[in-house]
Amino acid sequence: MGEEIRQNYREIRTRIDQAARRTDRDPRSVTLVAVSKTFPAEDVLALAPLAPVVLGENRVQEAAAKIEATSGTPGLSWHLIGHLQANKANRAAELFDFVHSVDSQDLLVRLGRRCTQLGRRLPILLEVNIGDEESKSGCTETELPALAEFATTLGSIEIRGLMAIPPYLEDSEAVRPYFRRLRELRDRLQDRMGLPLPELSMGMSHDFEVAVEEGATFVRVGTAIFGGRSYLR
């Protein structure tokens, strides 16, 4: 089981590197976030020999238990990629190395306040809802500039870029325009603010190669590494 997970991880890493080279990008500019949500700490530990490894979780509570269970293992860092509820912001600020899913001023304030108390600086991405009306997470494109400006006023928050979860489309090529749109939004925001926003978190198991071709610096891959998820655990 552990060997299979490591094998999957290496294969995904190779495909990322190839996608990066196809578009003349440095493969080292793309970080693979192994999305371990619903999988036990044991599966996370299977990746420890390949450290440094970045894990992605979408629930604060579930992540807390795994972070605790793996705390003796060097080389693991933890990114929050799922929607964050306001009442979990303090805990998130304590637990995570990076938060990809910040989408409101209220969350920025709460994370910032807790990080100031902790004496730490938290790197974050702003999540944008690009073209998926179904999804309730992510700020609108209209809200984005003001939210980004606000983030820069908080000393304990470091805004590093943008994240999006485009609609799921069977044909990964059909997702390309959404990835491109996020990159263009980032480029414009960067120009407007005169601030570097190097990171783009986009692409999942079935479309990460297209995302890398369009400029992703974080791809969030779960199923293709750990296997199918059962939510009935």
Ligand X SMILES: *Cc1c(COP(=O)(O)O)cnc(C)c1O
Tell me which residues touch ligand X (CB under 6 A).
Answer: 35, 37, 58, 81-82, 165, 204-205, 220-224
State the alpha helices, DSSP H only, in 23-59.
41-45
- Give the single-character DSSP code of 213: H
Q: Of the two residues 125 and 148, which places its CB atom closer to ligand X in the complex?
A: 125
Give the residue at shortest CB distance from ligand X.
222
Q: Of the two residues 1 and 118, which places its CB atom closer to ligand X in the complex?
A: 1
Other beta carbons within 10 Å of 31: 18
CB of 7 to ligand X, least distance (A): 16
Residue 160 makes CB contacts below 8 A (sequence gap 6+) with: 98, 123, 124, 125, 197, 198, 199
Hey, what long-range contacts does 12-15 have (CB within 8 A, 24 or more apart)?
Answer: 12/208, 12/221, 12/224, 12/225, 15/208, 15/209
CB of 116 to ligand X, least distance (A): 27
CB of 23 to ligand X, least distance (A): 21
CB of 207 to ligand X, least distance (A): 9
Q: Of the two residues 125 and 165, which places its CB atom closer to ligand X in the complex?
A: 165
Tell the residue number behind the tokens 């190779």, with chain if given: 14
Q: Of the two residues 46 and 154, which places its CB atom closer to ligand X in the complex?
A: 46
CB of 222 to ligand X, least distance (A): 3
Q: Of the two residues 154 and 207, which places its CB atom closer to ligand X in the complex?
A: 207
Residue 162 · residue 185 · CB < 8 Å: yes
Type of residue numbered 163? M
